[in-house]
Structure 1
């Protein structure tokens, strides 16, 4: 999240970091409790579904720890080793979470297929249902709290954890359907429900990965985002044209580079003031971080063939 976006949400960097840390710690604790409850009940009554769901949460616990330890560095100030800041750390942590989600989904798909082939080995007990209902409530509270905190922070890593909490609810529902199926004499429901949910989990994990790879490789945003940048520049009365525009992601922030055409008779002080106004205006836009502008005298013709000039023309 850019410093501008944090400020617009009414938070300073320290407050955002504290909120990020609290949400990460709560996710670690919530996953740990779920693991203990499900594993204890599952091992006692031989429920593969509960033990598998607890095993999935072990990976979730690792992902939460990575976000807690690694993701907070996005709020660190730029330094000599990272002159542009640490914005790329956050999508890197989110990419890790997305990868974990995909692995969990594939593992659940395998467990479901195995259940169809080998059949159930579980002894039914009301405690199985109680443990699963507890796990669902635990994950929903984690999801609700993480989303509530992230509403003011806008962290892609926390958003990935929130989605992971929802995925855990889906997998727990699948386990619950399977346990109820065993009780009703239809054990095949365990494997069938698990297979359907696993496909959704894989899809959502892959979607998280795709989005954050875009942030990591410095990809260009949508054409609408480019137009938004050009329109902001050309809205200044002193600007006569824009060319050589480059807009790309630096982590979750947008970095902007552009040549701006102004009156060639301006004094150096006047040109400097215009450049400052333009940079301040762009940095006030959502998601915009660093801005690099070069002022050119209008009419010298060096940008005649530049596509950006045509795209930016009124």
Structure 2
């Protein structure tokens, strides 16, 4: 459901994104400095991954908060599509960085890079990075528990995946201490593949929100059930539910008693629209009331009066059929 978001929610959103920017910047500084100092491809790869995370966090911080702005003349349906757009940019950035890291890791495997020098600072930097990402993950999830932001969800997932990629880098560093230095670029390659996969998954999910795709069948079912709870509803057809950003937009024809007055019909329509908007994730709702049993103008034979069906004429759509 689309709510008139308050300044407090937007402030919490931007604060969470800002903390992600800061947390990733610290991780980059620590891992990057130690990685370059001792020549570890795995550490440099993990730090470079966080460069993508830093860019992603900055994009969410700068753009994502627009979701909480009210509708205006240039965006009459609100700004909710901006959020999945920012998340899509996050995914694309992560994929590009992951491919660059994979190239460097392959060069390390074939011997284009010298093996890193042993130092406990390598392990210390990775342990710090894991702790940093866990704190970021916990904080972002906590803030997003009641905001339900897909952009913050993408950042939280990125933090969690960072822990896994850092573990892979840690395995590579242990290989250096065990006199198996090739494990370092192999770990870097594994990190890179995980980074690319993560970016693709984030992009795939948010493209669904941007192109107005249909939601899972369960969402259509709960919309239909909510409509049928009203005793005045005698039929439901031409139901369309699709994503408008992360919100769900509903268009539906509802059959009611054709003998009710216009005022009564208006009251029923208001009840139906209000009831649907109370559902989770539902935004705009468009309800068209039809007299029960009359049929649809689009189903009229060509000879119908004024292009409309006569009473009882036409091949009526089955109940709950989607246009």
TM-score by length of 1: 0.91
Query: Structure 1 residues 46 and 190, CA, compared in 2 at 3 Å: closer, same or farther?
Result: closer
Q: CA deviation at 1:202?
A: 2.3
Structure with a larger share of its residues in helix: 1
Q: Counterpart in 1 of 2:319?
A: 309
Q: CA deviation at 1:212?
A: 0.6
Structure 2 unmatched ranges of 5 or more: 300-313
Q: Counterpart in 2 of 1:9?
A: none
Match of 2:205 among 207, 211, 220: 211
Q: Counterpart in 2 of 1:91?
A: 84
Q: CA deviation at 1:308?
A: 5.1
Residue 230 of structure 2 is aligned to residue 236 of structure 1: yes
Corresponding residue SS for 2:214: coil
Is the contact made by 1:174 and 1:190 (CA closer than 8 Å) also made in structure 2?
no
Match of 2:250 among 253, 256, 270: 256
Tell me which structure has the larger Cα radius of gyration.
2
Q: Counterpart in 2 of 1:272?
A: 266
Corresponding residue SS for 1:309: coil
* Cα deviation code 1:233-275 (max 9, x no counterpart): 1221001111222111100000011111111111111111111
Is the contact made by 2:175 and 2:182 (CA closer than 8 Å) also made in structure 1?
yes
Q: CA deviation at 1:192?
A: 2.7
Q: Counterpart in 1 of 2:125?
A: 131
Corresponding residue SS for 1:299: coil
**Deviation larger for 130-139 or 113-122:** 113-122
Q: CA deviation at 1:305?
A: 4.1
How far apart are the structure 2 equivalents of 1:305 and 1:78? Answer: 40
TM-score by length of 2: 0.89
Match of 1:294 among 277, 281, 288: 288
Q: Counterpart in 2 of 1:107?
A: 100
How far apart are the structure 1 equivalents of 2:148 and 2:223? Answer: 21
Q: Counterpart in 1 of 2:53?
A: 60
**Deviation larger for 159-168 or 199-208:** 199-208
Corresponding residue SS for 1:81: coil
Is the contact made by 1:243 and 1:306 (CA closer than 8 Å) also made in structure 2?
no
Corresponding residue SS for 1:104: helix
**Deviation larger for 69-78 or 159-168:** 159-168
How far apart are the structure 2 equivalents of 1:251 and 1:209? Answer: 14
How far apart are the structure 1 equivalents of 2:45 and 2:198? Answer: 19
Q: CA deviation at 1:306?
A: 5.4
Residue 23 of structure 2 is aligned to residue 30 of structure 1: yes
Is the contact made by 2:87 and 2:206 (CA closer than 8 Å) also made in structure 1?
yes
Q: Counterpart in 2 of 1:73?
A: 66
Structural RMSD (CA): 1.9
Q: CA deviation at 1:207?
A: 1.6
Is the contact made by 1:245 and 1:308 (CA closer than 8 Å) also made in structure 2?
no
How far apart are the structure 2 equivalents of 1:193 and 1:40? Answer: 19
Corresponding residue SS for 2:53: helix
Superposition map of 1:164-183 within 5 A: 164-183=158-177
Structure 1 unmatched ranges of 5 or more: 7-11
* Cα deviation code 1:272-307 (max 9, x no counterpart): 111111011101111100001111111112276455
Corresponding residue SS for 1:239: coil
How far apart are the structure 2 equivalents of 1:308 and 1:249? Answer: 24
Q: CA deviation at 1:46?
A: 2.2
How far apart are the structure 2 equivalents of 1:121 and 1:187? Answer: 6
